[in-house]
Homo-oligomer: A and B are copies of this chain.
Amino acid sequence: MDENSSLIPVRFEPSGPTVHVPPGALLVEAAAQAGLELQMPCGGEGLCGKCRVRLLKGAGTPTDQEKRRFSAEELKTGWRLACQTPVRQALVVHVPEATLAQTAAKILLVGQVLADFPIQPPVVKRFVVLPPPSRQDDKPDIERLARALQPDSPNGEERPTSGEKPLRADWPMLRQLPDRIRQCGFQGTAVLADNCLLDFEPGDTTDRHHAVAVDIGTTTLAAALIHLPTGRELAVRAELNPQTAFGDDVISRISYAQRSPGCLEELRSAVISAIDQLIGQLAEQAGIGRQEIYYLSLVGNTTMQHLVCGITPRYLGEVPFTPAVGGSLVGQAAGLGLRIHPAGLVYVAPVIGGYVGGDIVAGMTAAGLAQQDRPTLFLDIGTNGEIVLAAGSRLFAAATAAGPAFEGARIRHGMRAAPGAIERIFFDGQWHIRTIGSERPKGMCGSALVDLAAELLRLGGLRPDGRLCRPERSNEAGGDRWIQTNGEPAFVVCPAEQTATGESILLTQRDVRQLQLAAGAIRAGIRLLLRRAGLRPLDLDAVFLAGGFGNYIRRRNAQRIGLLPPEVPVERIRFLGNTALAGARLFAISRQAQAEAERLARTALHIDLAAEPDFAAAFAESMLFPENVGWNSSPK
């Protein structure tokens, strides 16, 4: 019996595989079956247009979403959205390279640490030699061990007095302890978290002691394996967050989690599997066993932290965006489904609010924000945009609805910072572009978008109100690059014949609106925080830029489009890199860093920007690009 008899064949070009799917299966599902992961930042809603494919054979009637997304000509030649197309007949499908999910994105793994914390891990190892029991000394095993662990009084001590916390252990450890310490010949390595005995290992294993720090980005997971005795990083890796398949920003994740009872679990297990796999890869890379990892520190935005813990993010999606938990969480890693040492612990960083999460607290800790004497702005521009203002002993924190425009989403030819992405654009009489990996261009990443907008503003091709229009001296600014698309003006960043996709790379009017919204949201946020602190932009002593995007922009261009305050001298704008991962590393190696994070999270005043009375006005005003910030100097 042919098991494919009732299934429909779908062939994917140019890579070639043919799969058989049941009638009605979506084309994205068929692609997944063929091993092709398609971009789908909107979560399969037909909104982003990223999953476009061309049906070479078998194209049916387009949906309304597809009609909005494609021109009549495109529809006629078979262009469709894979997330909207059910398989009803045998298909041959062309998948453009740009439609494939980028699995080798350029991810920032290095972050600067401006604060100084001693190495004092939350889980410690101590090699001890116990006096064997005798009729003169028949103290219980665990007290014998506790006594040996007391540094000052190795022998002959009574049980700890009531002021001290007695050594404790969970049922599984208690059950193993008596045999274990005897098999070890009354010496071995105690693994301790506070007064809790996690394990007792034969021999001296104090050097085999590791932790993994994980930055759970909305888009990217980054993880570092740390050798705790030295604090040295043994390996570092990154992967896409597999939750991107369910939507590219936190809002689409939150809404996906509500869709049906199993969806939260689907999101949870996706990210847990990916972290678990990263842990395995890091261990393999460093040549250690998973069971030699005793501690995990996880940081992420509030939604990511909720999802990784399996806590519903539902109320993060509803006014007033209330998190379930504010302080840090410590629990058994096994309880989250993460496989390290069986008794290993997981730490989840404290958050400030529904949209100012543990990644920001980690960054604040790494940046030593509480130690800044003069007003300092901390900006993390990634999938979200978070702003923290340190002013004396006060901290103000807010999230902006910047959206993922800077990561290439919702931009016609936007893409993540991956090989082939245009990452830099400048004009010196003619247009220059630079791509990541020097590959043929596939699209533009966020830093190029900022560059281009800044150059076009300078050249008059972009008006302060955001209108794209052929500049008066258009020849000087590339007169042949101005076209109309879908009845709106657009600028050709790279003509079709030079791209990897065979399609022109454009900046559309719609793209500019997305940029205005994203940059305006951050600009308005900075204004409002400064106002709350009673400060002016001129009072700012420094701006710290964190996050993937922030580290690749040209600072002066960012000032030109109003994303960064033009009033701050450019040399006082510092790139700190991936401070979320840097902070997560600190949490893994230093209890003091954890205590500082707790203090920062507790101290920071969380500002709900949308609830501020003058938010609407500030946002509307910030949507306009700055009129004149003396931008005749060349970009730095």
Chain B residues near A178 (CB-CB < 8 A): 311-312, 314-315, 322, 324
Q: Which residue of B lies closest to A610 (CB)?
A: B135
A342 contacts B by Cβ under 8 Å:
no
Given A138-B321, A139-B322, A179-B312, A327:B159 Cβ within 8 A: yes
Given A175-B309, A178-B311, A311-B175, A138:B322 Cβ within 8 A: yes
A24 contacts B by Cβ under 8 Å:
no
Copies of this protein, total: 2
Chain B residues near A310 (CB-CB < 8 A): 171, 175
A6 contacts B by Cβ under 8 Å:
no
Contact across chains for B320 and A134 when beta carbons are under 8 A apart: yes
Contact across chains for A141 and B322 when beta carbons are under 8 A apart: yes
Given A312-B179, A602-B158, A135:B319 Cβ within 8 A: yes
Task: Tell me, in angstroms, the Cα distance from A394 to B610 when the chains sit together.
Answer: 68
Q: Annotate A310-334 by CB proximity to B: 1 below 8 A, 0 otherwise.
A: 1110110001111111110101000
Chain B residues near A602 (CB-CB < 8 A): 158-159, 162
A554 contacts B by Cβ under 8 Å:
no
- Smallest beta-carbon distance A312→chain B, Å: 5
A569 contacts B by Cβ under 8 Å:
no
Chain B residues near A610 (CB-CB < 8 A): 135
Task: Tell me, in angstroms, the Cα distance from A138 to B606 when the chains sit together.
Answer: 9
Chain B residues near A162 (CB-CB < 8 A): 595, 598-599, 602
Task: Tell me, in angstroms, the Cα distance from A267 to B247 when the chains sit together.
Answer: 53
A608 contacts B by Cβ under 8 Å:
yes
Chain B residues near A323 (CB-CB < 8 A): 140-141
Q: Which residue of B lies closest to A171 (CB)?
A: B335
A182 contacts B by Cβ under 8 Å:
yes
- Smallest beta-carbon distance A535→chain B, Å: 23
Contact across chains for B325 and A141 when beta carbons are under 8 A apart: yes
- Please pick, from B159, B174, B608, the residue contacting A309 in the complex, using a CB distance under 8 A: B174
A392 contacts B by Cβ under 8 Å:
no
A170 contacts B by Cβ under 8 Å:
yes
A166 contacts B by Cβ under 8 Å:
yes
Given A602-B158, A602-B159, A135:B175 Cβ within 8 A: no
Chain B residues near A25 (CB-CB < 8 A): none
Chain B residues near A335 (CB-CB < 8 A): 170-171
- Smallest beta-carbon distance A258→chain B, Å: 11
Chain B residues near A175 (CB-CB < 8 A): 309-312
Chain B residues near A159 (CB-CB < 8 A): 326-327, 602
Contact across chains for A608 and B135 when beta carbons are under 8 A apart: yes
Task: Tell me, in angstroms, the Cα distance from A170 to B162 when the chains sit together.
Answer: 26
A142 contacts B by Cβ under 8 Å:
yes
Chain B residues near A324 (CB-CB < 8 A): 140-142, 174, 177-178
Chain B residues near A320 (CB-CB < 8 A): 133-135, 137-138
A611 contacts B by Cβ under 8 Å:
yes
Chain B residues near A321 (CB-CB < 8 A): 138
Given A136-B611, A179-B312, A323-B140, A329:B174 Cβ within 8 A: yes
- Please pick, from B179, B325, B611, the residue contacting A174 in the complex, using a CB distance under 8 A: B325
- Please pick, from B142, B326, B608, the residue contacting A325 in the complex, using a CB distance under 8 A: B142
Task: Tell me, in angstroms, the Cα distance from A140 to B601 when the chains sit together.
Answer: 12
A408 contacts B by Cβ under 8 Å:
no
Chain B residues near A166 (CB-CB < 8 A): 327
What 11 additional pairs, Cβ within 8 angstroms, besides A135-B319, A139-B326?
Answer: A133-B320, A135-B610, A138-B320, A138-B321, A140-B325, A140-B351, A141-B324, A142-B327, A159-B326, A166-B327, A171-B309
List 5 A-B pairs, minimum CB-CB distance, nearest first. A140-B326, A135-B611, A138-B320, A140-B323, A133-B322
Provide 5 A-B residue pairs closer than 8 Å at the C-beta atoms, listed in order of the A residue. Answer: A135-B611, A141-B322, A162-B598, A166-B327, A174-B309
